[in-house]
Amino acid sequence: MDPDVWTQQVARAYDESSAHMYVPEVLDPAVDFLARRAGGGPALEFAVGTGRVAFPLSRRGIRVAGIEKSEPMAAEFRRKPGGRDMDLVVGDMTAVRIPRQFSLVYLVYNAITCLLSQDEQVACFRNAAAHLEQGGRFVIEVFVPELQRLPPGETARPFHIGAAHVGFDTYDLVDQHVVSHHHTIVDGQGSTFLSPHRYVWPAELDLMAALAGLRLTERHADWSGTPFTASSRSHVSVWQKPCDPPVSH
């Protein structure tokens, strides 16, 4: 995550600005899904942020560790009850290593797209694979690029228009980049937040997984297991690290 994007101001307002992601109907299915895939083993969250998913998953009895690049986001994580009791490493999820293995590594809420090059995204998969025990799973939640909804010749598309917030995305179709523009007015004061991303296709993620030695085992449209189709706007995908075959004598 770019430190110029995930600043102290953004981190302090993050939970409030993402309140819709904390409601039970959104958060509970994600935690349920991840707890089942962890199978009682330890879990590692890449881009753990302020702990939206890590804390409730930990309350399910799963030992959770996190990697977070943004110092301000990590500081907000540690301020929460239990935040200093959980293993949290500040660093880049493409390279930082925690010296143990996990049954589950996961990356939610489009965080894979915060890595702005294909090389970084490939490195993320390889780092996830390096942290997984045999049979362990890597789970990603991410949007499907919405280029079918972009009229020919246009590079911008609104995603929210409200009384206090206007949001739109601008696309660079050559480099697979999209910038989300958030313009908000609170108590008569305006603010702007720009969030850059590299959008990535499901098939491209599968190739990254294969390069890391992982194989696709599940793909759903959401955390509740809705079937993934050509019209799905997001997906939850699971790749597994194969177990070594038994040695024959």
The yes-or-no verdict on residue 30 having pLDDT over 80 is yes
The yes-or-no verdict on residue 14 having pLDDT over 90 is no
Residue 164: predicted pLDDT:
83
Looking at the fold, whether 34 and 60 belong to one and the same domain comes out as yes
**C-alpha–C-alpha distance, residues 123 and 164, integer Å:** 38
Once rounded to an integer, what is the mean pLDDT over residues 90-114? 97
Looking at the fold, whether 55 and 177 belong to one and the same domain comes out as no
DSSP code of 227? B
**C-alpha–C-alpha distance, residues 22 and 31, integer Å:** 11
Once rounded to an integer, what is the mean pLDDT over residues 25-48? 97
Looking at the fold, whether 14 and 112 belong to one and the same domain comes out as yes
The yes-or-no verdict on residue 182 having pLDDT over 80 is yes
DSSP code of 118? H
Looking at the fold, whether 189 and 216 belong to one and the same domain comes out as no
**C-alpha–C-alpha distance, residues 222 and 143, integer Å:** 10
Percent of residues, the chain, with pLDDT higher than 70? 96
DSSP code of 77? H
Looking at the fold, whether 123 and 228 belong to one and the same domain comes out as yes
CB atoms < 10 A from the CB of 111, how many? 21
Instruction: List 104's β-bridge partners, or say none.
Output: 43, 137
Looking at the fold, whether 187 and 65 belong to one and the same domain comes out as no
| Residue partners of 163: CB distance under 8 A and separation at least 6 | none
Looking at the fold, whether 179 and 75 belong to one and the same domain comes out as no
Confidence of residue 193 (pLDDT cuts 50, 70, 90): confident
Looking at the fold, whether 38 and 131 belong to one and the same domain comes out as yes
Once rounded to an integer, what is the mean pLDDT over residues 24-51? 97
Considering the domain boundaries, does residue 18 fall inside one?
Answer: yes
Residue 134: predicted pLDDT:
97
**C-alpha–C-alpha distance, residues 193 and 179, integer Å:** 10
Q: Return phi, psi of residue 242, to 5°.
A: -65, 150
Looking at the fold, whether 110 and 213 belong to one and the same domain comes out as yes
- 113: domain range? 8-144+200-240
* pLDDT tens figures, 233-246: 999 999 999 987 65
pLDDT, mean over the chain: 92
For residue 70, what are the CA distances in angstroms to 24, 90, 220?
26, 7, 29
Looking at the fold, whether 133 and 38 belong to one and the same domain comes out as yes
* pLDDT tens figures, 47-80: 999 999 999 999 999 999 999 999 999 999 999 9
HSE-up (13 A, CA, CB side) for residue 68: 23
Once rounded to an integer, what is the mean pLDDT over residues 94-103? 97
Considering the domain boundaries, does residue 246 fall inside one?
Answer: no
Looking at the fold, whether 74 and 157 belong to one and the same domain comes out as no
* Listed residue (109, 102, 111) closest to 63, CA to CA: 102
* pLDDT tens figures, 132-179: 999 999 999 999 998 988 888 889 998 889 888 899 999 999 999 999
Where residue 93 sits, what CATH number does that domain have?
A: 3.40.50.150
The yes-or-no verdict on residue 22 having pLDDT over 70 is yes
The yes-or-no verdict on residue 4 having pLDDT over 70 is no
**C-alpha–C-alpha distance, residues 195 and 182, integer Å:** 8
Considering the domain boundaries, does residue 101 fall inside one?
Answer: yes
Residue 163: predicted pLDDT:
87
* Token pair recorded at residue 14: 């993050």
**C-alpha–C-alpha distance, residues 180 and 169, integer Å:** 4
